[in-house]
Amino acid sequence: MKKKYFGTDGIRGKVGESLITPEFALKLGWAAGRVLAKSGNKKVLVGKDPRISGYMLEAALQAGLTSAGVIPVLMGPMPTPAVAYLTHTFRATAGIVISASHNPYYDNGIKFFSEEGLKLSEKVELEIEAEIDKELICVDCSEMGKAYRINDAAGRYIEFCKSTFPSQYDLSGLKIVVDCANGATYHIAPLVISELGAEVITMGVQPNGININLNCGATSMAAIAERVINEKADFGIAFDGDGDRVMMVDHTGYVLDGDEILYIIARDKLRKGTLNGGAVGTVMSNLGLEQALKTLGIPFDRSDVGDRHVMELMKKNGWSIGSEISGHVICADYLATGDGIVSGLQVISAMQGSRMNLHDLRQGIRKYPQIVESVRYNNQIDPLQDKDVLEELSRIEGLLGSRGRVLLRKSGTEPVFRVMVEADESEEQVIAYAKSLASKVKV
């Protein structure tokens, strides 16, 4: 069955429109509560990022959950991976995160984790959708849920993150710039890194509800790159609004994305003899990553875009690491979802173990120029079936041959068409190919 409300990463949109309203959040909380309570475990953890609309949605969700007889455990601002981890450790039946991740403040969303800390299955999402379309009927007053807050959630998660860093290493003598995107890691990531011994220079740690991801964090790396150079720091690490993405900057200001982070972690695991099989990327992962891993003898497989798909392929292959180029990096030895802090710590561990700086560690991968054009298109016309698009696609693929790739895909959350071209050619030529193909999409 096709899902009506859930997208590729929960439910997301502009606040006050469509599904991101207090009315819908109330109904969603009730519907989810009815489905989740069937297990007999009625405890559901609720976390959020600091965007201003989180207060509204948290209150509405709480009302819906309690009306279904569920007990909401409120944690306040917490990174998405922290909610996944704590859902499992608190033995809750599910976790809910109110966040639009890397989106601007005027968007928000709601996503769910299972009791194992995994994204909810599509089967459970469809069950929730079926309940949403029913009339809301409260349980008997004596059976209603009673919400409460936990105050030590951040401390528990900080200790978990630190436990993933080898005890024989410490960060004494390192100067590290940490950019929290004015998001959910603002009160956690700097403490994790400073408690491991580093001198920490913070950015994006003053959330006011509307500055999340604003010219900062993993989706806007120019500021941290400049700060690393100006401060003469050893490197920088940046997270997105909900903390499930990580990007890094070496001492020269070069930005490392999810492909390069995956390469460093995979190579370090190979060095230590702890690599379990191979590594998973996505159809968007750069050919340079695939070739660099092949040189090391590390198997590589591609999933569809989305950390859910990355994790599914990792499980299918029996592998423990995977990533998206955007910085979703999954280290399943520790957590079954993308965790920016934990993944960043694995890179730092590789630096400590190899006695190499970040600049030198990335030298084994040569990335091809890759250009992505995003085009809003007419919903009445499917670009994947359009004659002009297909003819131009065929022409460009013929010119590239085995020296590059072209990928066309529709966004799962909005009427946007992605045109990706990468090739062993000049960046100017790759840009020309991408723009030519994007121009054929009917807007």
101, 285, 323, 349: the catalytic one is 101
**242 neighbors 183 (Cβ within 8 angstroms):** yes
CA distance 212 to 104: 7
Contact 313, 325 (CB under 8 A): no
Nearest-angstrom CA–CA distance, 203 and 186: 9
* Residue closest to 362 by CA, chosen among 221, 226, 200, 253: 253
Q: 101 catalytic, yes or no?
A: yes
Helix or strand run (H / E) with residue 152:
none
User: % helix / strand / coil in the chain, to the nearest 5?
Assistant: 40, 20, 40
CA torsion sign, 81 to 78 to 154 to 357?
Answer: positive
Report d(CA 311, CA 305) in Å as an integer: 11
* Residue 442: closest CA among 391, 386, 373: 386
Q: Which residues of 180-200 are buried (b: 16+ CB within 10 A; e: fewer)?
A: bbbbbbbbbbbbbbeebebbb
Q: Pinpoint the alpha helices (H) of 200-339.
A: 222-231, 258-272, 287-296, 307-317
- 257 closest CA partner among 326, 307, 323: 326
Q: Helix (H, G, I), strand (E, B), or coil: what is residue 43?
A: strand
What DSSP line would sit under 344-392, residue for residue? Answer: HHHHHHHHHHHT--HHHHGGG--PPPEEEEEEE--TTS-GGG-HHHHHH
CB–CB of 245/340 below 8 Å?
Answer: yes
Q: How many CB atoms lie within 10 A of CB 23?
A: 9
Residues catalogued as catalytic: 101
